[in-house]
Structure 1
Amino acid sequence: MSTKSELQALLRFLSQDAKVPLPTAMGKVKELQKANLTGADSLAKSDLPTVQAIFIDEKLAKQVLNAAKRVTKKRTSGEVKPESPAKRKKVSSMKDMLSPSAIEDSLVLPETNVDEEELRSTTIHTNRAPLVLAFAVTLLKYTMPSQPLSSRLSLAQAVVSMNSRTKAVSLGIEKGNSAEDDGWGQGQPKIRVMGRDIRVMKRWGYEWKGKPEEDRVKQEDSQPGDSQDTLKQEDESRDEPALWGLDLEALRSSNGPLVSGAQGANVSGLPIYNAQSARAYLLKSFASPTPSTEKISLKKKSTAAMKSEEERNLALLLHALDLLYASWAHILGREELDRRAWAWYVAVRPEVEHGVAGWGGKGEVKLAQILDLRRNG
């Protein structure tokens, strides 16, 4: 899918004809594009296993497939009724559905307010990359509070990708200069996230009006003698435009040039780290450890049950990280909080085998260890 009108048509079909919630529909566009399922016609010619591989839930997949067949049948039989004024109004509202506020709403991450006791009793099973992503996206709520969630996800994914490439080079999995080393991205501004210098693209024209996260760093119990170099006072970026994390490897592969503009929903072709992809990665990456007594059981959890469990674990992890950063935010300056974040991640990351054998390996992360890193008092 290469045009905005085609993207709108696909979203219109999913949200209006197939009755898929808009946030879910927007989150599936990229996967549908990769599978060449870019409209009702192509979906109608597909099959249930293919559609279910994207929408996961069998009931929702059937809903989409049946809607595609129904719409296609009406079109070919000439049964399409004249469009009513109400229908035209709905169609014209697609612009609002693709507005910055709608985009940000579609990216909301799961939340929870469980007590500390439950957090301390929680252990998750994951590998290191998504844990870095969770650490980074939560950190950015405090170091760059004026950035919308779409930007924070993009910037956090940039950290993960750069870290993974560095590790791959050290293990001999990848060789040669990086795109950064070869000069790609020169002239683009940089920001630092978890000790990594990230090349960014300014999203001119993206007028996100959401409430900044900076209120989260306010502490009612601040002492008169606390450091004057607090995040709230230090934040000089609140008037900056929203940012994308630049994917320099993708830029090199496309052979440039880099063209920027009013980047909102239509980001197809831009060499950036995609916020929807980062969110999807988080949602599917935090399972619960399987007790040894269950490993020999022939009964497996349903896909829906596993998905629900992973999303709940993500909510618990993000809540623990939020408590960690909040405990330090009114004491440490932005640069110092960023510097310490990497050390905190290293302290709790899952243990894996050394060398190539441990690449992508999974292990346990105890949320109690994250809570123990909080500032006392």
Structure 2
Amino acid sequence: MAAQVQDLLRFLSQDAKIPLALAMGKTLELQKANLTNPEYIAKGKIEVLQTIFNDPKVAKQVLNAAKRVTKKRGSPTDATTTSPQKRRKGPNITGDSTPYEIESALSLPVSSASEDDLSNTILVTNRAPLVLAFALCVLKYTMPEQPISSRLSLAQAVVSVNSRSKAVSLGIESGKSAEEEGWGEGHPVVRVLGREIRVLKRWDYNPREGEPASSAATGRSADTASAANNEDNQRETPEDAHRMPPLWGVDLEAMRNSHHSVPGKEPKDHSVLPIYTAQSARSYLLRSLSKPEEHPPEPVKPKPATVVQNEKKECVGHLLRAIDLVCQSWASTLDHRELDRRAWAWYLRVRPDVQSGVHGWGEKGQVKLSGILSLRRDP
């Protein structure tokens, strides 16, 4: 069974090109649907994959990869194969978008729920999205100058590094990481949730460029342009003098892979530095949380896709608000380094209670927001 899971993960991450963290969270669901290898996936229905991945484009990407792999192996199938779909961009982002418009499009759901309502809220997710949420929230206080695009990129980098460490411990991956092989040499380092992340400085990027005058005049800003509006909630420290420009998290594993030649394929463009994109991190978070399933005595009609999407957005808003309340309560008494260190300890205390072993890291479990809120500093 463990070997089957490892083979499935290799197919998803290497052939289907989906993030390892997402692959980890979907192996159990694929096994339950008897989609345990590329051959079975290639012969399966796209609707089943769409239900599992909650994203039609990702489902099609996995199906196409399965067909391509089975065709190479000589598996009898008359289905045609196409190239995997490119990762979709975030909402309302085009090549002509200004930095302000890009940051606005990347904004995350905001919850208006009372603390009592939050305390009674239970969410369902696996561990990787919760790591992403904690990283996003703590970065608002440890690196308040970073816009939402940078926070999403850095948070996704933390998830990727953490997921690879877990994969190595389970025997799914082996050998040295790209970092250990020296691929990150020369790139600056920042620490997020205790993890060292290699970054690319975006010197020419001003997140407020293109901001309407009316918006600037009213002083309205949230995640739409810059996290600098959080400065009022934090005390100034000597660390503030060393703030960095907007950053991208550098994908060292992708950098290493891009330099490895693949027979029959054109060499990749080595001039483009691979980064963790904000759009993919945002999309991952928005599709990874849900409410606990209800089990009515009689079958009911499935919810429309729009209703499900709105519920997921609501869940994300509730989770981010709960974590933010915790970070906010400690920000005035802890320096940035200590706040970052404690945030990882907070995550460990409230992470989903799932089984350990091969399935434990990817299986979904419940997260009680009351447990997160209990971490707040006493007045």
Is structure 2 residue 232 aligned with structure 1 residue 218?
yes
1:147 aligns with 2:146: yes
Distance 1:101 1:34, change over 3 A: farther
> Secondary structure at the residue paired with 2:359?
helix
Contact 2:104 / 2:225 at 8 angstroms: preserved in 1? no
Q: 1:194 aligned to 2:211?
A: no
Query: Paired residue for 2:366, among 355, 364, 367?
Result: 364
Across the two proteins, how many residue pairs are aligned to each other? 272
Which residue does the alignment assign to 1:327? Answer: 329
Alignment of 1:64-143 (within 5 A): 97-143=96-142
Structure exhibiting the larger radius of gyration computed from Cα positions: 1
Give the aligned residue type for 1:141. Answer: K
TM value normalised by structure 2:
0.66
Amino acid in structure 2 at the alignment position of 1:158: A
- After superposing on structure 2, the runs of 4+ consecutive aligned residues of structure 1 that deviate more than 6 Å are none
Matches within 5 A, 1:273-284: 273-284=276-287
Deviation string, structure 1 residues 192-235 (Cα, Å, up to 9, x no partner): 0000000001112112227643443535xxxxxxxxxx653244
The alpha-carbon deviation at position 237 of structure 1 amounts to 5.9
Distance in 2 of aligned mates of 1:312 and 1:157:
21
Q: CA shift at 1:305, angstroms?
A: 1.1
Distance 1:370 1:217, change over 3 A: farther
For residue 43 of structure 1, what is the aligned residue in structure 2?
Answer: none
Identify if the C-alpha distance between structure 1 residues 337 and 211 changes in structure 2 by more than 3 Å, giving closer, same or farther: same
Following superposition, the deviation at residue 368 of structure 1 comes to 0.6
Q: Deviations over 1:317-354 (max 9, x none)?
A: 11111111000000000000000000100111101111
Q: Distance in 2 between matches of 1:163 and 1:195?
A: 10
Change (3 A) 1:118 1:238: farther
Residue 253 of structure 2 is aligned to residue 249 of structure 1: yes
| Shift of residue 106, structure 1, vs aligned partner | 1.0
1-side partners of 2:225 and 2:277: how far apart?
Answer: 22
Counterparts of 2:242 and 2:342, CA distance in 1 = 23
Q: Deviation at 1:34?
A: 7.0
The one-letter code matched in structure 2 to 1:340 is R
What SS does the corresponding residue of 2:125 show, helix, strand or coil?
strand
Cα drift, residue 185 of structure 1: 1.2
Distance 2:321 2:243 in 1: 28
Stretches of structure 2 lacking an aligned partner (at least 5 in a row): 1-54, 63-83, 209-223, 261-270
Asked if 2 retains the 8 angstrom alpha-carbon contact of 1:217 and 1:329, the reply is: no
- SS of the equivalent of 1:197 reads strand
Rounded to whole Å, the distance in 2 between the matches of 1:231 and 1:341 is 18
CA displacement at 1:297 relative to structure 2: 2.4
Counterpart CA distance in 2 for 1:163 and 1:241 is: 25
Q: Which amino acid aligns with 2:294?
A: P
Distance 2:204 2:230 in 1: 26
Show structure 1 runs of 5+ residues with no match: 1-27, 36-49, 56-93, 220-229, 257-267
Instruction: Tell me whether 1:339 sits opposite 2:341 in the alignment.
Output: yes
- Looking at structure 1, the residues matched to 237 and 339 of structure 2 have their Cα atoms a distance apart, in angstroms, of 14
SS at match of 1:356: coil
Report what 2:319 is aligned to. Answer: 317
Q: Give the alignment's TM-score, normalised by structure 1.
A: 0.67
Moved more, 339-348 or 230-239: 230-239
For the residue of structure 2 that corresponds to 1:355, the secondary structure is coil
Residue type of the alignment partner of 1:178: S
Identity of aligned residues (%): 51
**Of 257, 260, 272, which residue of structure 1 is paired with 2:275?**
272
